[in-house]
Structure 1
Amino acid sequence: MTRLVLILALLLGLSAPVMAETSLAGHDISSLVFITNKDSNDVTVIDSKNNNLIARFEIGPWCAPHMSMVSCDGRLLLAPRTKKNDFVAIDLKSGEKFGPIPVGFSPEHFDCSPDSKLCYVANFEEGTVSAIDLTQMVEVARIPGFAEPHGVTFTPDGSKAYIANFGAHEVGVVDTKTHQLIKRIAVGSAYKVAALNPDRYLAEIKGIANATPTPDGRYVYAADGDSGEVAVIDTATDSVIASVRVGAEPWRAYSSPDGSLMLVPNNGDKTVSVISTKDNKVVATLKGGEGMTGINFTSNGRKAYAISSREGAVYVYDMGKMREIKRLKLGTNVVLETASTTADGNRLYLACSTTNSVYVIDGESDQVSVVPNVGHSPWAVAILGGYNYCH
């Protein structure tokens, strides 16, 4: 069977990664880079010390995993089997797989609680969130009341989770003890505009992709795609304390390492809005690219990188001077996805779905190297303790 798969891969012009290890016993998990590959239905692992591929974890046939994550304690690799409507967990030391655990329809994004005991999985097409007990490996609740739930964010103490609704202009707040939706927070003014132009704003809603916390968890920033506004939510009261006007069709906010800035890529006008979290005002508007999928930081936040998926390029910014300093063109006819920054803030690992590779960008020199053949259609990257996100 393995021989047949390899022959088919060669006939299709693909190069399937072949790695012997199915456990990571003896490895420093924090030094590893986990790559979610949608078309080869697996997660491959790069050792950041030498950028060698060292392991491959099969998630399941024809399941198209959307992302993966390492639990906060470094014990488990977690991944939704998006096309199978279930979820798996893999013990990284033993290689033992738990599941599949049935969840809702089209699970895509998720988050793990800080104590690594609970996982919330957003079932995008079903409008629910599955609560998975990671000690028992079972779904303990399925929470209704969402519209295309997208990003999931736990508070630092794990008592609440904020669910972004991409199909609505609101953020849901869930009590993690009762698994109940306890509040719905309206974001932006698009609902007012929709009343005037329903054909445009109700045909396809561009709502909230993610509720991004400050490092201390005191506030979350939620960008609304239709209204071009970012709501600042006080997590103590779950109320909007400020609304910041940014560019057209903002995707989501990305926090600088110290939490002093939130960068928001605006795909409607190809700009990046820089918000000061001290006074919640836009302090700079930077040139961006087309189809931006993420922003990363290096050098303790002194530099930022905006990924332009459709241009196959990365825009590099000096955040001290608030200006673009270079544009890294990574190839022609390439589609860039998302990146993770290493825990020390020195390097970016960026997935490219069309070349089956990962680009490694050095934060000091901006030199780019390539790790080829990581899997088929790499979609997302995760590093324990690093700066992670998905799209």
Structure 2
Amino acid sequence: MKMLPRLLVLAGAFAAAQAALALPSHSDRVYTADQNTNTVSVFDPSSNRLLGQIVLGNERPDVLSPLYRGEVNVHGLGFSPDHKTLIAISNGSNSVTFIDTATNKVKGKTYVGRSPHEGFFTADGKEVWVVVRGEDYISVIDPTTFKETGRIPTAVGPGMVQFLPDGTLAFAVSSFTPEVDVIDVKAHKVIKRIPVVSPFSPFLQFTPDFKEMWMTHKDVGKVTRIDTRTQAVVGVIDTGFITNHLAFAKVGGRVLAYVTVGGENVVKVYTLEKEAKLVATIPTGALPHGIWTSDDSSRVYVGLENGDGAEVIDPATNKVVAHMPGGQAPQALVYLSHVAAPGSAENLKPRVNGDSSNIKLKPVAAGSEAKGFAVARPLGVVDAIEVAVFKLKPANAYTVWLGSQQIGALRTDAKGNADVTMIGPVRNFGMAAGAQPAPGAAHLSIVEGTAQPSAGASVLSD
């Protein structure tokens, strides 16, 4: 009987050791593509810390001057099947940068057509397919010579492409056309077009068994499920305002889907049943965007577009367990296992940017559906304020005020939405979520027309 407590202690220690072994390794890496700092941030998932950044171009606003070298809007990420090569897609300079994951060194670069978005290696690793969202084709690149070898015509505005593991078919979503293109990989030809509910789909991912392809619809806040065998839509899920990316993790013997919903600052967790069920909603930092799961499903990593870093979710508890500061405006995020020497920060630069401040904009008039948010980022001697507004009057002019000073203007689109960036000297404004305004802080307001901010003129305010 006296042996029982000791056996329980030993069993507990063994279970803890097993759990520790299951967590990410020191040789694994998490990467984010940082659109504003034009960096790739490199994180050690075993310690949840930033190792450093791969600098591909100048920070904003330096890139607003004539650009002869360096990349602009580092946005998409992909990787080779052997994890030895990372590719970074820059949609402002139309480039694909090939990075050696062991050394963090750039080993090649390819310039493609207007505004590429995402890229990925074929299942055999012999080709890289990059969707050229500003046009209507996929650029095919030889990853050994870094030369474009062909183009595959697609629907206008391809958003992302991924491959079935047997190398037969690829699925390409579109950012401007409400369809999915099914492509014969060997023939480089679209063989089927699948209608979907929205023309704006920036991301897709296969379930771990590859029986379904899930795609996000950022503009309408939905996820579409497609059967990869029948190539038919088998479900549409209402996920929420600014649905960005998704990932899958195996938890407690079942696979769950994790969807970033940027407009709600949450990750939503769904079952893969015939009728998907929402089983958890995980609060995150500002504007969650990219998401990827560790190989063993022990962690889910989320890039925060307005939080300038990444957060770590424990899927066993559905809670954020760590925050990792990184580059400005991270977009895509990927996790790669066994890519570098433990703790190596070779050829990485220290973090080039500071932290951001986030402001939630609330409607002034009772019953208004208007909403918005703003993020302020330090840029050295000046700052940038990015403002996004939704559900205002369509095709209408508004001004942005910081206290009694007009700092910018915007015009909404046909849906009443707008997104603008203003650059200038700003040091003290508004109220961050859950905080008290600093002494002398000015409030941010959105005003119809050019009138001074007031209860009657302001439509949104912090």
The equivalent of 1:206 in structure 2 is 199
| Residue in structure 2 matching 1:294, options 210, 231, 245 | 245
* CA-to-aligned-CA distance 1:57-88 (integer Å, 9 cap, x gap): 22333511112123110111111121111211
* Match status 1:39 vs 2:36: yes
Q: How many residues align?
A: 298
* Match status 1:337 vs 2:289: yes
**Which whole-Å CA distance do the structure 1 matches of 2:276 and 2:170 have between them?**
33
* Match status 1:123 vs 2:112: no
**TM-score, reference length from structure 1:** 0.66
* Match status 1:139 vs 2:139: no
**Which whole-Å CA distance do the structure 1 matches of 2:262 and 2:329 have between them?**
14
The structure-2 alpha-carbon separation of the partners of 1:75 and 1:206, relative to structure 1 and needing over 3 Å to count, comes to same
* CA-to-aligned-CA distance 1:95-131 (integer Å, 9 cap, x gap): 4423321211101012211222211000001111100
* Match status 1:169 vs 2:178: yes
The equivalent of 1:327 in structure 2 is 281
The structure-2 alpha-carbon separation of the partners of 1:364 and 1:67, relative to structure 1 and needing over 3 Å to count, comes to same
RMSD of equivalent CA atoms = 3.4
**Which whole-Å CA distance do the structure 2 matches of 1:220 and 1:317 have between them?**
15
**Which whole-Å CA distance do the structure 2 matches of 1:129 and 1:67 have between them?**
14
**Which whole-Å CA distance do the structure 2 matches of 1:366 and 1:384 have between them?**
22
- Native 8 Å contact 1:297 1:303 kept in 2: yes
The equivalent of 1:244 in structure 2 is 234
| Residue in structure 2 matching 1:356, options 268, 285, 308 | 308
* Match status 1:187 vs 2:195: yes
- Residue 380 of structure 1 and its aligned partner are, at CA, apart by 1.9
The equivalent of 1:315 in structure 2 is 268
* Match status 1:56 vs 2:53: yes
- Residue 231 of structure 1 and its aligned partner are, at CA, apart by 7.1
* CA-to-aligned-CA distance 1:258-286 (integer Å, 9 cap, x gap): xxxxxx4x2xxxx4xxxxxxxxxxxxxxx
Q: Secondary structure at the match of 1:55?
A: strand
The equivalent of 2:120 in structure 1 is 111
**TM-score, reference length from structure 2:** 0.56
**Which whole-Å CA distance do the structure 2 matches of 1:208 and 1:317 have between them?**
19
Q: Secondary structure at the match of 1:294?
A: strand
- Residue 139 of structure 1 and its aligned partner are, at CA, apart by 0.8
Structure 1: segments with no counterpart, 5+ residues: 1-26, 191-204, 247-263, 272-288, 387-391
Q: Secondary structure at the match of 1:67?
A: strand
**Which whole-Å CA distance do the structure 1 matches of 2:284 and 2:264 have between them?**
9
* CA-to-aligned-CA distance 1:294-325 (integer Å, 9 cap, x gap): 34444153554432211212334577997555
- Residue 181 of structure 1 and its aligned partner are, at CA, apart by 1.9
- Residue 355 of structure 1 and its aligned partner are, at CA, apart by 2.0
- Native 8 Å contact 1:223 1:231 kept in 2: no
* CA-to-aligned-CA distance 1:198-233 (integer Å, 9 cap, x gap): xxxxxxx6265556545454664668888x895745
- Native 8 Å contact 1:349 1:361 kept in 2: yes
The structure-2 alpha-carbon separation of the partners of 1:95 and 1:62, relative to structure 1 and needing over 3 Å to count, comes to closer
The structure-2 alpha-carbon separation of the partners of 1:183 and 1:352, relative to structure 1 and needing over 3 Å to count, comes to same
- Native 8 Å contact 1:107 1:122 kept in 2: yes
**Which whole-Å CA distance do the structure 1 matches of 2:78 and 2:156 have between them?**
24
The equivalent of 2:370 in structure 1 is none
The structure-2 alpha-carbon separation of the partners of 1:358 and 1:208, relative to structure 1 and needing over 3 Å to count, comes to closer
- Native 8 Å contact 1:338 1:381 kept in 2: yes
Q: Secondary structure at the match of 2:264?
A: coil
- Residue 345 of structure 1 and its aligned partner are, at CA, apart by 0.5
- Native 8 Å contact 1:302 1:319 kept in 2: yes
The structure-2 alpha-carbon separation of the partners of 1:362 and 1:137, relative to structure 1 and needing over 3 Å to count, comes to same
The equivalent of 1:366 in structure 2 is 318
**Which whole-Å CA distance do the structure 2 matches of 1:130 and 1:29 have between them?**
35
- Native 8 Å contact 1:73 1:115 kept in 2: no
**Which whole-Å CA distance do the structure 2 matches of 1:384 and 1:107 have between them?**
22
**Which whole-Å CA distance do the structure 2 matches of 1:381 and 1:108 have between them?**
13
* CA-to-aligned-CA distance 1:329-355 (integer Å, 9 cap, x gap): 335xx2221211111111111111222
- Native 8 Å contact 2:246 2:292 kept in 1: no
Deviates more, 1:319-328 or 1:352-361: 319-328
- Native 8 Å contact 2:214 2:226 kept in 1: yes
**Which whole-Å CA distance do the structure 2 matches of 1:82 and 1:146 have between them?**
18
**Which whole-Å CA distance do the structure 1 matches of 2:31 and 2:50 have between them?**
10
**Which whole-Å CA distance do the structure 2 matches of 1:319 and 1:118 have between them?**
31
Q: Secondary structure at the match of 2:74?
A: coil
**Which whole-Å CA distance do the structure 2 matches of 1:349 and 1:362 have between them?**
9
- Residue 382 of structure 1 and its aligned partner are, at CA, apart by 0.1
